[in-house]
Amino acid sequence: MVKDTWGKIKNELKEQLPAHTISTWFEPICPIAFDEKELILEVPNQFFYDWIESHYRQNIDRALENLEIKEVNTKFIISAETQNVEQGEKQDHTPSKKSHLIPILNSDHVFETFIEGSNNQFAKTAAEAVAENPGKQSFNPLIIYGGTGLGKTHLLHAIGNRVIETQPEKRVVIATSEKFTLDFVNGLRKNRTVEFAKQYRNADLLLIDDIQFFKGKEQTQEQFFHTFNELYQSGKQIVLTADRYPGEMQGLQDRLLSRFQSGLSVDIQPPDFEVRVAILMDKAERNGVDLPYDVIEFIATHMRTNIRDLEGTVIRLLARSSLMNQDIDQSLVKDVVKERVGEQASRDLSMEDVVRKVVEITGVDENNIVGKSRKKEIVEARQTAMFLCRSLLDASLSSVGLFFGGRDHTTVMHAIKTIEQKKTKKTKVNQNINQITSDFNTDFF
């Protein structure tokens, strides 16, 4: 069914796009699964995914509409399939470089192209140390965590690329958590769980992206636990990425979290202004365009949380300029930035800004909000401010707790849970949050 559906979608796309585009970007896509709510498509690599997502997502959505396939979420997974040399794979007792599984890594994601700043310096240093001596020091597992589009996947691939370059005898296996799950499910379905286990447990270096998506998948977690243990006890290196610190994850087995916390966890924060400028200048240079500094500064000022969005904005600018035969000036860049950030455009926010706004809305004194008072109205204002710091700024639990008088992360978690419960009801708290969010999201242009 999924192949038939994908075939129909491709036929629709052929009505919208040139033949060379179809052959280059859509023929290599492999349909994996389809039900009433989700269409899962496998793409060869991260670059392929980024290009499809930024250039052809709307075409796919339009094709689904034309076929009256409604309310279906199209999800892309990045292949961790490897190119096997059948003869070499069978000859387990005569290993050679050619018999190794060749991982699909993004060749652009190397340490040399990773823009370093105070927000990611420690993470890069730890990643380089692991790449130089995988499994030989205490950074095992290495977990790189942070928000979306901050460079976690870049560092993951950079480690793999460095190891393959300097230690080609090492067996490198890379996969997303979703790919790991699908491989396991396919192994169950085809009675090939032994082959599945062998694929991952023979690794010298195992790289898994987005481990938070193991949440709720009990059998997958069980398999990963045993894979983790076997590799760890054999002195093999494990590197994982996640959207948050392991101690803050929910829905994962305690014994898995315990293993994760036994190694080194390093975070990547959103880039500061100077790093954002450097990223934009590098992206422009790599695309052979000389962007005026005022244009770069404008983008860096208004897009501050996501490296992927920064780079995508440059590509969008180049496309608009080329297709519309228009110079890249302030007018064009304002249009493009506004398109990309929409109603989320706002000035740089800090926890101080959030607290001041809560003070303005609730009338509670600022010193009381960050203080120790247990009066009901003060506690509610404090919890509201904590909730907003987490939701609007994506601040870590520990940093929020530190700002609010040195409280621990469990206090912050309790505050967030309390406000989330109150938000579900038509309470004053819900009105206050909506008002504050609306104020911060006021159009900046």
Q: Residue 278: CB partners within 8 Å, gap ≥ 6? A: 115, 117
Mean pLDDT, the chain, as a whole number? 81
**297, 343, 430, 435 from 442: Cα distances, Å:** 21, 7, 18, 11
Number of domains in the chain: 4
Q: Does residue 381 fall inside a structural domain? A: yes
Verify that 117 and 222 share a domain, yes or no: yes
**pLDDT (average), residues 245-263:** 84
Q: Does residue 253 fall inside a structural domain? A: yes
Give the per-residue pLDDT at 445. 43
Q: Give yes or no for residue 268 having a pLDDT over 80.
A: yes
Give the per-residue pLDDT at 426. 63
Give the per-residue pLDDT at 414. 92
User: 328 is in which domain, residue-wise?
Assistant: 273-344
383: pLDDT confidence band, cut at 50, 70 and 90?
very high
pLDDT in tens, 211-221: 888 888 888 88
Q: Which of 253, 210, 201, 207 is nearest to 229 (CA)?
A: 201
Give the per-residue pLDDT at 79. 67
Q: Does residue 92 fall inside a structural domain? A: no
52: pLDDT confidence band, cut at 50, 70 and 90?
confident
Q: Give yes or no for residue 17 having a pLDDT over 70.
A: yes
Instruction: State in Å, rounded, how far the first CA of the chain is from the last one.
Output: 47
Verify that 312 and 218 share a domain, yes or no: no
Q: Give yes or no for residue 160 having a pLDDT over 60.
A: yes
Q: Which of 87, 81, 115 is nearest to 101 (CA)?
A: 81
3-state secondary structure of 407: coil
Which residue, 18, 45, 78, sits at the end of a domain?
Answer: 78
> What are 342's two structure tokens?
């929409």
Verify that 107 and 245 share a domain, yes or no: yes
3-state secondary structure of 212: helix
Verify that 299 and 421 share a domain, yes or no: no
349: pLDDT confidence band, cut at 50, 70 and 90?
low
Verify that 154 and 213 share a domain, yes or no: yes
441: pLDDT confidence band, cut at 50, 70 and 90?
low
Identify the H or E element spanning 207: strand 205-209
Q: Does residue 362 fall inside a structural domain? A: yes
Verify that 226 and 332 share a domain, yes or no: no
Our measurement of the distance from residue 157's CA atom to the centroid of its chain's CA atoms, rounded to an integer in Å, reads 13
236: pLDDT confidence band, cut at 50, 70 and 90?
very high
Q: 348 vs 299, which has greater pLDDT?
A: 299
Which residue, 230, 246, 268, sits at the end of a domain?
Answer: 268
Give the per-residue pLDDT at 241. 93
Which residue, 282, 316, 344, sits at the end of a domain?
Answer: 344
d(CA 32, CA 6): 10
Q: Does residue 85 fall inside a structural domain? A: no
